[in-house]
Amino acid sequence: MTYAIDRIRNFCIVAHVDHGKSTLADRMLQLTELVDPRKMRDQYLDKMDIERERGITIKAQAARLPYLPLGEAGGEYLLNLIDTPGHVDFSYEVSRALNACEGAVLLVDAAQGMEAQTIANLYLAVEADLEIIPVLNKIDLPAARPDEVAREIASIIGGEPEDVLRISAKTGEGVREVLDAIVDRVPPPKGDLDGPPRALIFDSIYDPYRGTLVYFRVVDGSFRPGDKIHLMATGFEGEIDDLGVHSPEETPIDALGVGEVGVLSAAIKDVAQAKVGDTITLAGKGWEAVPRLPGYREPLPMVFSGVYPIDSDDFPQLREALDKLRLNDASFSFEPETSAALGFGFRCGFLGLLHLEIVIERLDREFDIPLITTAPSVRYRVVMERDDPETGEPRVLSVSNPQDLPEPNQIRAIEEPTVLAMILTPSEYVGKVMQLCEGRRGTMIAMDYPTEERVELRYLLPLASIITDFFDTLKSISRGYASLDYEIGDYVAADLVRVDLLLNGEPVDAFSAIVHRDDAYAFGRSMVETLKELIPRQMFDVPVQAAIGAKIIARETIKAKRKDVLAKCYGGDVSRKRKLLEKQKEGKKKMKSVGSVEVPQEAFVSALRSGSAKSDS
Amino acid sequence: MSPLPARAPRAWLTEPVESGPSAGFGVYLHVPFCHHRCGYCDFATAAVGDRGADDQQALFVRYVTALTTDLGHQVAAGRRAHAAAADRDALDPRWPEVTSVFVGGGTPTLLGGPLLADVVRAVGRELDVAPGAEVTVECNPETASVELFAALVDAGVTRVSMGAQSFAPHVLATLERGHTPQRPVEAIAQAREAGIAELNLDLIYGTPGETAADWRRTLETVLAAGTDHVSAYALTIHDNTAFGRAVAAGRLPTVDEDVQRDRFEVAREVLGAGGFEHYEVSNWSLGPARRSRHNLLYWRHGDYLGVGVGAHAHLTGRRWWTTRSTDRYLAAVEDGASPIAGSEELTDTERAEERLLLGLRLRDGLHPNDVPRIEPLALADAMAVGLVETACGRLRCTETGWFLLDDAVTRLLP
Ligand SMILES: Nc1nc2c(ncn2[C@@H]2O[C@H](COP(=O)(O)OP(=O)(O)OP(=O)(O)O)[C@@H](O)[C@H]2O)c(=O)[nH]1
Ligand SMILES: C[S@@+](CC[C@H](N)C(=O)[O-])C[C@H]1O[C@@H](n2cnc3c(N)ncnc32)[C@H](O)[C@@H]1O
Ligand code: SF4
Ligand SMILES: [Mg+2]
């Protein structure tokens, strides 16, 4: 059925990681009796395996809920819910969701209180001009401090602490009141019912059976199966084959009108033809006159890592796997590169560390190609000494692989990406947090007290400093209470050098890193120590050295191995001996021979992670 | 001059000179009882120390009955019934003569002379034992006596292998051993007195807390005890043992690789000076005649039956083993059911793997005709890094390669 526009409410649920968004969505699905009780499971809308295993939301998900408030005589309302991810790597998903709504439920864990993404998402919602409904969740927890947290919320968004709804998404208590508040307070969508149809694409994914699926929200007019559509940015034209809504499973529908959210397929072969943020209109005469909707800023990869097959024969399979993954995740990038140590591979770009981890895990799980990933790095701007002969301007290189850094004498300056970090911490940890930020070359920009017990710190930090173990350290020095959010900042010049690592006298390009000159010695030292730990003893002594240019700054030796035999009486149990040996052989296959040294997979990533951890203390 | 006849690709399996069926035929019998389970031990054992004497005796009698029944069943089933399906028809259905018998544990000597003698005699009742066959019984020093050994000699036992482990009191304490440092030396003397022809002492090195001096003194004591054979094993810590848990919890240091290698070198030096020949990674004997024939059978990829709890058997490419639980073993055999818990038929690749991993443990390595097919590049690699060598066509480990055997074998494997 179609709904009158004043019966439609579009809202999203936003919150810090783990404050219970997906669980609240579960209760809403149940309350509106949309899911067969036998099929219900926790975080129903988290569909991907990785989401379910990690218990986090990665992709925003929409669901259409018909809702009849108690005692309501005027008929059903249509609520379009969008559940969003909480993790900072996926905050672009939140921005898109906000653009498709008129209201946002701001969920706050009553035990944790406000955290960095609570505030960041609140600002995004205010900027998008949404009606904000603050809700305290998890009041069933013994550690819940509802009064205190309600005061915190009220002091930040205004209003009275008593107006903050209190619920438990776990038990379902108070969830009906949230739905009622949405009906009462969120305005219905606005749009031209009879104007030329326009819709905004907020997601597009590739389905191997159905081609590209386009998720969109209707802004003006209406769409029907069979309509010939035109996508304004890419010029794609085609007929709508299927039109559907999620309730929460995809269900066909015969029309979608102003304010409604749905999905369509139109024989779009390449997802790139259905760009997120593009405007859908009808093909034929007059589409040129239809104004385009404001799109989205495309999320840019910020963190880079080299991805190499351990067995070089797997290179074509790796390319194919990356191509396939990108169909469903346009936010990561890859281009071929070569390494003297690792052979042929790809430099991949990710939104952040969690995103990197997830993509690598999917490659491993869905394509089963043994991989080596190099330590994450950022993209530097390198201003060269020599000007570009054509423009007369200095030449600028973009370097995301430390190996591509030119010789120091050719470089005028190196600039690195920064982030504007916002850290929310209970005041007792503020000293330690400041120490951490300063140790990672941070510059304080502001310090605020949004509430009595909480301090909001704003720092300008090199992005490189936070893509190692910054977050883990922040959590451990604050017993888990400090939280971090960041936005990408400008490029800033810094005194950076490349530290190389040598095994057995041979430089191993995959271990090179660009670091600040002041950190180079500590970094080199901890790297050689870490590699000494991680690389198993070989048939001969292996020197491990760190160097800047030709100058050795640290050195350790991996002593030759001296014992590798089961020198124990096993009697007749030969099967066990053979199986142990087969396991060893498998383990060896996961090593990469670099020169004549066998290096385990983990060494390439964990070496740098622990490297920075040590230079902290 | 006529060319040498080309050997068939599987000749290393079908016509071995020293390996496989050419190595003899053995019977292993397992006695799973111990007074106390030592912290490092992951053999199939059941601690019976807290049972009353009558209770123990009743259990032992039951077990020996089951053991002989199990042996009877395995023999009666016939040789072909145990063979791999593919080899079944080509196999001579008759059991060959037994060239070695080994009663191991656990602590077989807990059974006492008469019961243990019954176990040994059962083999002779069921199978033909070759004249001069080696018949070994494992013995814990605290259970030894002249009467016990006399009963064993009477039953045909020719060799005793005694677990001394160390002669340093604090090492024995760490290993949770129930005997004094002097006891094994006395027990060896008693065995000799009773007429046991061949004597071995087992040692463990690299135990946390053991010093280089402790180890040297232990080796010197062994030389003085006058055995003709010594087994010295590097302490191995398994996860599922008390030691494994202690290491995981940080209560016990892990065994250090360099220390183990140093101890190994000292053992080679001291035992070598005492006239012992180092013929297998962990075994020394006073000349080739005194090597342990039953263990040689294992390393030469030979055939053997396995009887009792947690016993392993092998017949030309098929392996099978019995349950590790004494209760389940007794229940099965008393019920007329099979105590066999699992089996596997090996592919030729797996058999090649075994041939190498076992055969290269021996100083002499493998006879040229017994060496499985190895990738020429893999062989060249293992030789180039100095792990293996060829001597008169035999393939064997180098002196260094011996203690890096796992590396050597994994390089040679496909
Ligand atoms: N006790 C209690 N636990 C809750 C409640 N709501 C959610 N949880 C638990 O909090 C954890 C996180 O819940 P999710 O719903 O996955 O949180 P989320 O906000 O969707 O998390 P992200 O999508 O990763 O940002 C889960 O273990 C839930 O069971 C509640 O009201 N009470
Ligand atoms: C089958 S065991 C048991 C023999 C007998 N019950 C005893 O303990 O004396 C034979 C030998 O293996 C060795 N051994 C047992 N467990 C070991 C371990 N975890 N590491 C190294 N050697 C071990 C001991 O030297 C032991 O004497
Ligand atoms: S006495 Fe021997 S078999 Fe028994 S537990 Fe100790 S080491 Fe193991
Ligand atoms: Mg979620």
What atom of ligand 1 comes closest to residue A137's alpha carbon? 31
pLDDT at A227: 94
**Structural domain includes residue B332:** no
- Average pLDDT, stretch A473-486? 89
How remote is the CA of residue B41 from the centroid of ligand 2, in Å?
7
What is the extent of the structural domain holding B281?
A: 19-299
Residues A108, A156: Cα–Cα separation, whole Å: 13
The answer to whether A165 and A219 have CB atoms below 8 angstroms apart is no
What atom of ligand 3 comes closest to residue B37's alpha carbon? 5
Cβ–Cβ of B404/A574 closer than 8 Å? no
> Domains in chain B: how many in total?
2
**Structural domain includes residue B317:** no
Note the helical H segments in B18-98. Answer: 53-76, 79-82
- Show the CA angle centred on residue A95, arms to residues A90 and A99, nearest 5°: 150
Per cent of chain A over pLDDT 70 is 96
Per cent of chain B over pLDDT 70 is 99
Residues B108, B33: Cα–Cα separation, whole Å: 7
pLDDT at A11: 96
Residues B51, B57: Cα–Cα separation, whole Å: 10
> Which amino acid belongs to residue A392?
G
Domains of chain A: 5-185 (3.40.50.300), 198-289 (2.40.30.10), 303-373 (3.30.70.870), 380-494 (3.30.70.240), 497-614 (3.30.70.2570)
Q: If residue B184 lies in a helix (H) or strand (E), which one and from where to where?
A: helix B183-194
- Average pLDDT, stretch B70-84? 94
Residues A333, B339: Cα–Cα separation, whole Å: 59
A583 touches chain B (CB under 8 A): no
**Structural domain includes residue B138:** yes
Which chain A residue shows the shortest CA-CA distance from B345?
A575
**Structural domain includes residue B186:** yes
How remote is the CA of residue B36 from the centroid of ligand 3, in Å?
7
Per cent of chain A over pLDDT 90 is 56
Asked if residue B316 has pLDDT above 60, the reply is yes
CB of B110 within 6 A of ligand 3: the answer is: no
pLDDT at A326: 82
* Residue A488 banded pLDDT, cuts 50, 70, 90: confident
Distance of CA A286 to the CA centre of its chain: 39
Residues of A in contact with B405 (CB under 8 A): 564-565
B233 touches chain A (CB under 8 A): yes
The answer to whether A255 and A223 have CB atoms below 8 angstroms apart is yes
B409 touches chain A (CB under 8 A): yes
CB of B200 within 6 A of ligand 2: the answer is: no
pLDDT one-digit tens code per residue, A371-392: 888 888 999 999 999 888 888 8
Q: Which two tokens stand for residue B99?
A: 């060239």
Which chain B residue shows the shortest CA-CA distance from A560?
B258
CB of A401 within 6 A of ligand 1: the answer is: no
Cβ–Cβ of A569/B404 closer than 8 Å? no
Lowest mean pLDDT across A158-172, A191-205, B333-347: A191-205
Q: Which two tokens stand for residue A543?
A: 């020197």
- Average pLDDT, stretch B197-225? 97
**Structural domain includes residue B333:** no
B260 touches chain A (CB under 8 A): yes
* Residue B6 banded pLDDT, cuts 50, 70, 90: low
B266 touches chain A (CB under 8 A): no
The answer to whether residues B119 and B206 belong to one domain is yes
How remote is the CA of residue A22 from the centroid of ligand 4, in Å?
4
pLDDT one-digit tens code per residue, B252-309: 998 888 999 999 999 999 999 999 999 999 999 999 999 999 999 999 999 999 999 9
**Structural domain includes residue B200:** yes
Q: Where are the beta strands (DSSP E) in B186-276?
A: 198-205, 229-234
Which chain A residue shows the shortest CA-CA distance from B412?
A585
The answer to whether residues B137 and B121 belong to one domain is yes
Residue nearest to atom 8 of ligand 3 (CA): B41
Q: Which two tokens stand for residue A368?
A: 């089963």
The answer to whether residues B142 and B239 belong to one domain is yes
Nearest ligand to the CA of A21 is: 1
Lowest mean pLDDT across A73-87, A483-497, A582-596: A582-596
pLDDT one-digit tens code per residue, B363-376: 999 999 999 999 99
CB of A141 within 6 A of ligand 1: the answer is: yes
pLDDT one-digit tens code per residue, A166-188: 999 999 999 999 999 999 999 99
Nearest to B403 among A563, A577, A578 (CB): A563
pLDDT at A427: 92
How remote is the CA of residue B41 from the centroid of ligand 3, in Å?
6
* Residue A71 banded pLDDT, cuts 50, 70, 90: confident
Asked if residue B158 has pLDDT above 90, the reply is yes
Select the highest-mean-pLDDT range: A41-55, A365-379, B327-341. Answer: B327-341
> Which amino acid belongs to residue B214?
D
* Residue A1 banded pLDDT, cuts 50, 70, 90: low
φ/ψ of A425, rounded to 5, equals -140, 145
pLDDT one-digit tens code per residue, A434-461: 999 999 999 999 999 887 788 999 999 9
- At residue A341, the 3 state secondary structure works out as coil
Residue B129: give its domain's CATH number: 3.80.30.20
Residue nearest to atom 14 of ligand 1 (CA): A20
The answer to whether residues B60 and B138 belong to one domain is yes
CA distances from A16 to A108, A487, B28 (A): 7, 15, 65
**Structural domain includes residue B312:** no
Å between A558 CA and nearest CA of chain B: 13
Q: What is the largest CA-CA distance in chain B?
A: 77
* Residue A616 banded pLDDT, cuts 50, 70, 90: very low
Local structure of residue A254 (DSSP, 8 states) = S
The answer to whether residues B197 and B135 belong to one domain is yes
**Structural domain includes residue B304:** no
- Average pLDDT, stretch B230-239? 95
* Residue A10 CB contacts under 8 Å (≥ 6 apart), including other chains: A79, A80, A82, A100, A101, A102, A103, A186, A189, A217, A259, A261
- Average pLDDT, stretch A236-262? 92
* Residue A156 banded pLDDT, cuts 50, 70, 90: confident
Cβ–Cβ of B406/A577 closer than 8 Å? no
* Residue A467 CB contacts under 8 Å (≥ 6 apart), including other chains: A302, A303, A352, A353, A376, A377, A378
Residues of A in contact with B42 (CB under 8 A): none
**What ipTM describes this predicted complex?**
0.89
Nearest to A581 among B28, B344, B357 (CB): B357
Asked if residue A548 has pLDDT above 80, the reply is yes
φ/ψ of A361, rounded to 5, equals -65, -40
Residue nearest to atom 3 of ligand 3 (CA): B106
The answer to whether residues B1 and B25 belong to one domain is no
The answer to whether residues B88 and B6 belong to one domain is no
Cβ–Cβ of B321/A582 closer than 8 Å? no
CA nearest to A610, candidates A526, A511, A554:
A526
* Residue A617 banded pLDDT, cuts 50, 70, 90: very low
Q: Which two tokens stand for residue B66?
A: 């089951």
Residues of A in contact with B358 (CB under 8 A): 574
Cβ–Cβ of A568/B234 closer than 8 Å? yes
CB of A140 within 6 A of ligand 1: the answer is: yes
Nearest ligand to the CA of B260 is: 2
Cβ–Cβ of B319/A571 closer than 8 Å? no
Cβ–Cβ of B282/A584 closer than 8 Å? no
Cβ–Cβ of B257/A562 closer than 8 Å? yes
Mean pLDDT of chain A: 89
pLDDT at A609: 52
pLDDT at B4: 54
Q: If residue A239 lies in a helix (H) or strand (E), which one and from where to where?
A: strand A237-239
The answer to whether residues B7 and B33 belong to one domain is no
Nearest to B281 among A567, A573, A585 (CB): A567
pLDDT at A33: 82
- Average pLDDT, stretch B171-196? 96
- Surface of B (12-71) touching A: CB under 8 A: 28
Most A CBs within 10 Å, among B42, B360, B407, to test the A interface: B407
The answer to whether residues B9 and B71 belong to one domain is no
The answer to whether residues B106 and B172 belong to one domain is yes
Local structure of residue A316 (DSSP, 8 states) = H
Which chain A residue shows the shortest CA-CA distance from B410?
A585
- Average pLDDT, stretch A260-284? 89
> Which amino acid belongs to residue A98?
L
A614 or A120, greater pLDDT: A120
The answer to whether residues B251 and B291 belong to one domain is yes
Most A CBs within 10 Å, among B322, B353, B358, to test the A interface: B353
CA nearest to A151, candidates A141, A136, A137:
A136
The answer to whether residues B137 and B239 belong to one domain is yes
CA nearest to A239, candidates A224, A256, A226:
A226
Residues of A in contact with B321 (CB under 8 A): 573, 575
Q: Quick count: other Cβ atoms within 10 Å of Cβ A267?
A: 12
* Residue A615 banded pLDDT, cuts 50, 70, 90: very low
